[in-house]
A and B are shown apart, each in its own frame.
Chain A
């Protein structure tokens, strides 16, 4: 069978990027291997764990369930693109640090990206809504209490702003 390759172009964290990829290459692998953005982590590679969550045209999605060719022409934001320019942490990142919302840190990019998108759309969630929103991300250290505490703090912080 012929091995087809495709040219893809997308904006990643505000920077135009191009790559030549096999159509079977996921957006997650393209971000990591072609663009060197290894903040997007791959846990399960079949849409269960949420570690690879990124924003595509503003929507939080699982980057292992999207081929890079599908993201051609899109605007992508990864965990590397959340912090303000010039250093420092975003409100969500700061909350994770302050509440010890991570243990080994592998799942953290997915949680941070998911929560950033969720709080943008739902600035004042209840505790139950936050747990529901974070249910699509898995932490194998089971450090969920710290993550929920971080999410609450980030939600409160966003209220203040």
Chain B
């Protein structure tokens, strides 16, 4: 199984990448770390006449921390993001999601931006982006724009990026205060795509009440989901009074999970309940006790 022939482009800047994409339109695809696109090309499920490799655009590899947000360049390799001290300190949810991505050899090539642009609904980084209300920065022929994560992922393997746009960075908000973060997912084998999973961020306020909570779900729909009803029910509740299983049930109530050889929709939902409950429990524990 070999990829079909293509022309290879290796732009040195984002502007050059955008020009190349614009010139070749639908015939062009962006190559980031290649850990999803290259297998699809080898299986001939994806084909490109022109491949635009962002691998040499050094300006897209960075992690920059500010007071209330952390910017991660789109071509930052997942392994590098996973051991970055700024991400570990300021966006722990991202740091904890990364070990769940494939195997370490894949994380050595796969990129933070590539995972989002590929938009697999069971992928971890998109779920973290949606849960933290990250903004995704894109550059095209027009002005660069910031896209809220909730509007970025539009369907399975589909985003709101225009054909001439390159995803350049992700901006993750920092959650201050007594906050806790957790990722839980279930896969049949380590490194497989998850049957279902949940990522959770929570902040405790006065009287151990939940001041703020965000619960994201992966593998339970066409895009990474936010469990809005569950978040509403949990907000304002004293942490000790919370029935996390009930919150888990609320989290998956409106989902329409895929049905495939790996799991039925009902099973995915049951796994989702457990994962949401466990992630919330772990996040609350961390917020309370550090």
Contacts and interface: CB of A to CB of B under 8 A. Distances in A.
Interface in B1-15: 1-8, 10
A2 interface: yes
Given A46-B39, A132-B190, A2 B106 contact: no
B65 interface: no
A67 B104 contact: no
B155 interface: no
Contacts of B2: 24-26, 29, 45
Contact of A3 (B5, B34, B104): B5
Interface string B1-37: 1111111101000000000000000000001001100
A4 B51 CA distance: 12
Interface in A1-32: 1-4, 6, 22-26, 29
Given A46-B39, A136-B191, A66 B6 contact: no
A53 B103 CA distance: 12
Interface residues of A, number: 34
Contacts of B79: 59
A65 B38 contact: yes
Interface in A35-81: 45-48, 50, 53, 59-62, 64-67, 69-70
B39 to A, nearest CB: 4
For chain B, give the interface size range: 20 to 34
A67 B8 contact: yes
B109 A61 contact: yes
B34 A66 contact: yes
A62 B33 CA distance: 11
Q: Is the interface of A mostly helix, strand, loop or mixed?
A: mixed
A66 B104 contact: no
B189 A135 contact: yes
Nearest to B79: A59
B49 interface: yes
A128 to B, nearest CB: 10
B42 interface: yes
A135 B190 contact: yes
B109 A62 contact: yes
B264 interface: no
Contact of A62 (B1, B49, B105, B191): B105
Nearest to A3: B5
A106 interface: no
Given A65-B35, A66-B38, A135-B103, A46 B53 contact: no
A46 B41 CA distance: 9
Nearest to B190: A135
Contacts of A48: 39
B105 A70 contact: no
A47 B35 CA distance: 8
B89 interface: no
Nearest to B1: A45
Given A53-B105, A70-B34, A133-B104, 13 more contacts: A1-B49, A3-B5, A22-B5, A46-B1, A48-B39, A59-B79, A61-B109, A62-B35, A64-B42, A65-B39, A69-B10, A70-B55, A118-B104
Interface of A: 1-4, 6, 22-26, 29, 45-48, 50, 53, 59-62, 64-67, 69-70, 114, 118, 131-133, 135-136
